[in-house]
Amino acid sequence: MAGTAAIDWTRPWLAPYRAQGEAAAGAIAQGLPVAQALQGAGPPAFVPQHALPAGRAYEAHVFETGTVPTRDNLHDFFNGLVWRAFPQAKCRLNELQATEIERAGVGATRGPLRDALTLFDENGALLEAPPELWRALAARDWPALFVARRGLWAQARLRVFGHALLEKLVSPRKAATAHVLLTQGVDGLDDEALARRLDPAWLATKPFVPLPVLGVPGWWAGNEAPDFYADAQVFRPARSVAESPAAGPG
């Protein structure tokens, strides 16, 4: 698989995944399939995609077997890296998906909970930040968030969780947007703490706030220019009633 050669591991959003990611990418460059390159000392076990029986729901299969069918592409490569970094949170997401599939089956639409689970799994991020930044983000007050209170980002930590978003950021585009959950406390980005917070009733409300990640100070050189944030197609104004998602359980 040639795609891993295009990854720039110096990008700030890849810092939490760099050590394991570079090692796995090196193994892939030597000819190993992605599933084999991702194997670690503990669960889950990554298996080739053909291990998924035809017609079987992916999430149900992962839940029942403890194995993750994996294709030789960037999407599944990044999914594996997130599994390695957040095994308990990924297990919790998978458990909730599988439970919903067992309850309601696989239909034309996922329903609010499965929709939210998929959104976070594919495109989510975790933000630990001073209250002033979170309020500005929830209000879509981009000038406050990125200009007036820019210095507060030194006290913030942002972790991209969604593997589809990590894949998109291999070729960064200004419009790349995460769906962010607020985290709190010293263990805010901790795997076990995140797993505990993933309450289905809360997630079904989609308590996420959109954040164009290339606007984050230090994440993209272009955002040093003040007019970077003037692009209303990316930095969209708030709706008439500002959304203020709750921090959630835990």
The answer as to whether 2 is a domain residue is no
The answer as to whether 192 is a domain residue is yes
Domain range for residue 50?
14-85
Residue pair 209/200 in contact (Cβ under 8 Å)? The answer is no
Residue-wise pLDDT for 1-56, tens only, equals 669 999 999 999 999 999 999 999 999 999 999 999 999 878 899 999 999 999 89
**How many other CB atoms are found less than 10 A from the CB of residue 55?**
6
Distances (CA, A) of 3 to 70, 76, 110, 121, 229: 15, 11, 30, 21, 31
Clarify whether residues 123 and 79 are in a common domain. no
The answer as to whether 18 is a domain residue is yes
**How many other CB atoms are found less than 10 A from the CB of residue 103?**
9
* Mean pLDDT of the residues in the chain: 91
Residue-wise pLDDT for 72-112, tens only, equals 999 999 999 999 999 999 999 999 999 998 887 666 567 88
Residue 67 to residue 79: CA distance in whole angstroms? 13
Q: In the chain, how many domains are there?
A: 2
Residue pair 168/126 in contact (Cβ under 8 Å)? The answer is no
Sheet holding 124-128, edge to edge: 157-160, 124-128, 177-182, 209-212
